[in-house]
Amino acid sequence: MTSDPAPSAPTTPVPARHRDTVAVAAGRPERVVDAPLNTPVTFASTYVGRHDTGQGGLGYGRTGNPTWQALEATIGALEGGRALTFSSGMAAAQAVLELHGPGTVMVLPAHCYLGVAAAADQRAERDGWTLRRVDVADTAAVLAAADGADLVWLESPTNPMMEVADLPALGAALRGTARLVVDNTFATPLLQRPLAYGFDIVLHSATKFLAGHSDALLGALVLPSADAETLTRLVGVRSLSGSVPGTMEAYLALRGIRTLAVRLERMQHNAGILAERLQAHPAVRAVRYPGLTRDPGYATAAATMDGFGSLISVELADAATADAFVDGTSLWVFATSLGGVESSLERRRRWPGELPTVPEGLVRLSVGIEHVEDLWTDLRQALDAVV
Ligand X SMILES: *Cc1c(COP(=O)(O)O)cnc(C)c1O
Binding site residues, ligand X, CB under 6 A: 88-90, 113, 115, 155, 159, 183, 185-186, 205, 207-208, 217, 219
For 258-313, give the secondary structure using H, E and C.
Answer: CCHHHHHHHHHHHHHHHHHHHHCCCCCCEEECCCCCCCCCHHHHHHHCCCCCCEEE
Which of these, 108, 96, 112, 121, lies nearest to 149 by C-alpha position? 108
**Secondary element (H or E) of residue 257:** helix 247-257
CA distances, 322 to each of 171, 189, 217, 278 (Å): 37, 32, 28, 14
To ligand X, the closest distance from the beta carbon of 181 in angstroms equals: 11
Which residue, 177 or 241, has its beta carbon nearer to ligand X?
A: 241
Residue 314 β-bridge partners = 287, 363
| Catalytic annotation present for 289 | no
| Catalytic annotation present for 215 | no
Phi then psi for residue 42, to 5 deg, are: -105, 105
Quote the CA–CA distance of 5 and 11 in Å, as a whole number: 10
The catalytically annotated residue of 193, 208, 263, 347 is: 208
Cα torsion 183, 189, 192, 194 to 10°: value is 50
Residue nearest to ligand X (CB): 89
To ligand X, the closest distance from the beta carbon of 294 in angstroms equals: 25
To ligand X, the closest distance from the beta carbon of 281 in angstroms equals: 26
Which residue, 150 or 183, has its beta carbon nearer to ligand X?
A: 183
Which residue, 186 or 289, has its beta carbon nearer to ligand X?
A: 186
To ligand X, the closest distance from the beta carbon of 218 in angstroms equals: 6
Tell me the one-letter amino acid at 112: C
Which residue, 164 or 383, has its beta carbon nearer to ligand X?
A: 164
Which residue, 94 or 321, has its beta carbon nearer to ligand X?
A: 94
The catalytically annotated residue of 19, 113, 288, 295 is: 113
Quote the CA–CA distance of 282 and 384 in Å, as a whole number: 8
To ligand X, the closest distance from the beta carbon of 32 in angstroms equals: 34
Quote the CA–CA distance of 245 and 367 in Å, as a whole number: 27
To ligand X, the closest distance from the beta carbon of 203 in angstroms equals: 7
| Catalytic annotation present for 60 | no
The catalytically annotated residue of 166, 183, 200, 295 is: 183
Which of these, 182, 253, 198, 230, lies nearest to 39 by C-alpha position? 253
| Catalytic annotation present for 193 | no
Which residue, 219 or 307, has its beta carbon nearer to ligand X?
A: 219
83 contact partners, CB below 8 Å, separation of at least 6: 71, 72, 73, 74, 75, 76, 220, 221, 222
The catalytically annotated residue of 62, 233, 255, 277 is: 62
Give the residue numbers marked as catalytic: 62, 113, 183, 208
